[in-house]
Structures are given as C-alpha cells and as structure tokens.
Amino acid sequence: MHLIITDAWLAKSRAIHLRGTHLVVALLCSALVLMLLALGLYHWVFLKGAREGWPVVGSVLRWVVKDEFDQRDRAVRDNIDLMAQKLGDMQAKMLQLESLGERVSGLAGINPAEFKSKAGAGGPLVTSRSFTMDELGDTLRQLETLGAQRTDLLTVVESRLLDQTVRNMTVPTQQPVSSGSLGSSFGWRIDPFTGRSALHTGLDYQAAHGAPVVSAAGGVVVTQEAHPEYGHMVEVDHGQDLVTRYAHLSRVLVKKGDLIKRGQKIGEVGNSGRSTGSHLHFEVAVRGVPQDPQKFLKATTQLAKAR
C-alpha cells in the first residue's frame, strides 16, 4: 500500500510505502488504542453516573452487584449446608460413642447415666431450613464440649478397666492342676499321719506323678526351697499381701526372684515332704493368714457365667 501525504498548498508531498506486516501492526495498534479509549470512557461514565446517581447507570450497577452477591451467597450457603451435613455425621458418631460408653461403663464400675447427654428430643418435621453461621458455630462448640467430656470419661473407664485387668491377672483364680481331681478341702479334717483332727490350710489335688503344676496368677517367686513338711515348695507373691504356695513337688522349674505369668508351668506333681502319695498341696494366704482357695477359684466360674 502506498500513502502520499501533501501539505495544504500541495507544495510538498511525501510517499509512504506500507507492506503487509506494517499494515497489520498498524491496525492492531489502532484497535488497541480504540479499546483503551473505550474502556476509559466506559469507566469514566460509570463512575460519574454512580456518583451523580444517573438512573440507568444505577440500575445496571445494582443488577451487577446483586448478581455477584447472589452468586457469593449461593456459594456460602452450599458450604454451610455441606458443613451442616458433616456436623450431622459427627453427631451420629457422638451418639455411637455415647452408646459404647454406656455399655463399657458398667464393667468399669461407673454409672452409665454419666455417659448420657441431654434429654431426648424429637417430633414431626414440619419445616426445614438451612443453618446460620451462628447456629453452626454454637453446635460445633457444643460438640467440642461434649467430645471433651466423653474423652475424660473414657479415659477414666480405660484406667478402671486396666486396673481391673491387672488385678485379675494377679488374683489366683486359675486351677493349678488341670488333670487332677480335688481331694482334701480347706478346713478341719482327720490328719492322715496322726489320726487326730487338724486344720488343713489348703487344697489337695490328686494327680499323677510328674503332672504339670501352673501358677494360679501372675507374680514373683519369693520362695523356692525344700521344706521338711511341704517338701519341694514354691511360693509366689501376687502383690497386695496375697501369696500362693505349691507344695510336695517332684520337680521345680522356677527360682526365687523369677517373674511369672498366669498359667506358666512352675513345677511337677510329686510326693516330697510330709505326704502319703502323689498330689499337689495348694494354699492361698492373705497377710499370712490361710484362706480357702476355692473362694478365688469359684470367683472365676461366677464371672464366666455372668459374662
């Protein structure tokens, strides 16, 4: 393209040759300038119209702002509804936790009523609406408080159950001989050597020579010796001044100071000491006072039936 530029008197002229590339660039620049001018004019008109209250501009601005706020409100409402749904799931899980707490609290000796939340609520659904942010915040704070209370109570339950487990593991409730039958019981009897009435301070289990003898509970071996009357004997301290004694053994498998667990084999049935035949003499003493071992052994049977 050729452009010829002359002055007003046609005295001078100048020819400009534009190639295709130059022409495209010139058109793009012109278009850009026009767009900037249009945007500037549009911005100026709207600002001036908004400041001076032009009706048309005010209507357009209100429509744009309302649409923007509507979109934002819908987005916020959707998020609130989603949070409310998750809040409902949390409340359902809290009810499950409450139900679990009520079931296990009795085992720990805690009143199940302590796990119950506020009084029940219900009724027909007449209408429904979305949560407000304030209501959502209040409900979340209530759940947080309730969750903290449940955590504290469950911690107490855990502590109580752990304490009970430890106590049960150290109480002699397991029969020391599984294959033997019960002979002489605890109490007064005719002594097999003297023929006179004498106090029998334990239980005699009739069993074959070499039959395994197990610890009735966990504890520490405090005595392992050959006694003139009890023969080869083992005593286990279970804590809280409670001691079990296993006498007339033919073989001892533990030594003083050993830490043993419930059901662990500690020796074998024998006929050592003051004995008329192969059997196990089993004693339970609290603070050195002999107790009837059957009281402890029957406690296990009663607990199993209760469960």
Q: What is the mean pLDDT of residues 69-87?
A: 74
- Residue 175 to residue 298: CA distance in whole angstroms: 10
- Residue 66 to residue 50: CA distance in whole angstroms: 15
Instruction: Indicate the SS3 state at residue 261.
Output: coil
pLDDT given for residue 192 in this prediction: 86
pLDDT averaged over every residue in the chain: 78
Q: Check pLDDT > 90 for residue 260.
A: yes
* 249 within 8 A of 233, measured Cβ to Cβ: yes
pLDDT given for residue 243 in this prediction: 96
Tens-place pLDDT, residues 174-202:
999 988 788 899 999 998 888 899 999 99
Higher pLDDT pick, 110 / 217 = 217
- Residue 242 to residue 218: CA distance in whole angstroms: 11
Tens-place pLDDT, residues 46-69:
666 656 665 655 666 566 666 677
If you ran DSSP here, which 8-state letter would residue 270 be given? B
pLDDT given for residue 304 in this prediction: 43
Tens-place pLDDT, residues 21-40:
766 777 788 888 888 887 77
Q: Check pLDDT > 60 for residue 166.
A: yes
- Residue 123 to residue 238: CA distance in whole angstroms: 57
* 307 within 8 A of 183, measured Cβ to Cβ: no
Indicate the residue type of 49.
Answer: G
Tens-place pLDDT, residues 228-243:
999 999 999 998 899 9
Give every CB contact of residue 196 below 8 A, 6+ residues apart in sequence: 190
Q: What is the mean pLDDT of residues 81-110?
A: 73
pLDDT given for residue 112 in this prediction: 65
pLDDT given for residue 51 in this prediction: 62
Indicate the residue type of 27.
Answer: L
- Residue 15 to residue 163: CA distance in whole angstroms: 107
pLDDT given for residue 127 in this prediction: 46
- Residue 223 to residue 281: CA distance in whole angstroms: 15
- Residue 213 to residue 278: CA distance in whole angstroms: 13
One-character DSSP codes across 174-223 = S-S-SS-EE-S-SEEEE-TTT-SEEEE-SEEEE--TT-EEE-SS-EEEEE
One-character DSSP codes across 121-149 = ---------PPPHHHHHHHHHHHHHHHHH
| CA 232, chain centre distance (Å) | 48
